């Protein structure tokens, strides 16, 4: 199976609006509160849509997201097409290093 997307779980706090926009421009789900983790959508469709994938990602990342939200972070799930996945990963890793504890790349999964 060939890779179609890279999915990132990131956590951030104490960043200005410009940096937040850079972080979340590929976001498929932003999680600000613990309640956001428990809101599962029910979709009746024949295909496998983005909404279906987002529900799966939330399930995968729920524990790590919950831990960071409890510590005051906002969390975002990003889904990036393989064509830009490496570039986005490099940018996120540089931000993770540069902003220390204020931006964290918690997990990266290729699907």
* pLDDT tens per residue, range 45-72: 566 677 888 889 999 999 999 999 999 9
User: Does the global pTM surpass 0.85?
Assistant: yes
Q: If 0-12 CB within 10 Å is exposed, 13-18 middle and 19+ buried, where does residue 6 land?
A: buried
Total domains present in the chain: 1
- At 103, list the tokens: 């931006």
From residue 37, how far is each of 27, 31, 105 by CA, in Å?
Answer: 15, 7, 18
Q: Which domain holds residue 60?
A: 5-110
- Residue range 16-30: mean pLDDT, rounded: 91
- At 18, list the tokens: 């410009």
Of all helices (H) and strands (E), which one includes residue 111?
none
């Amino acid at each position: 199976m060939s890779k179609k997307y890279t999915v990132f779980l990131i956590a951030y706090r104490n960043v200005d609006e410009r940096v937040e926009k850079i972080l979340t421009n590929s976001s498929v789900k932003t999680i600000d509160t613990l309640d956001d983790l428990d809101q599962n959508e029910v979709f009746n469709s024949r295909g496998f849509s983005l909404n279906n994938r987002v529900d799966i990602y939330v399930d995968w990342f729920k524990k790590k997201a919950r831990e960071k939200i409890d510590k005051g972070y906002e969390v975002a799930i990003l889904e990036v097409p393989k064509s830009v996945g490496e570039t986005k990963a490099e940018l996120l890793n540089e931000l993770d290093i540069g902003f220390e504890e204020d931006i964290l790349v918690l997990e990266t999964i290729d699907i």
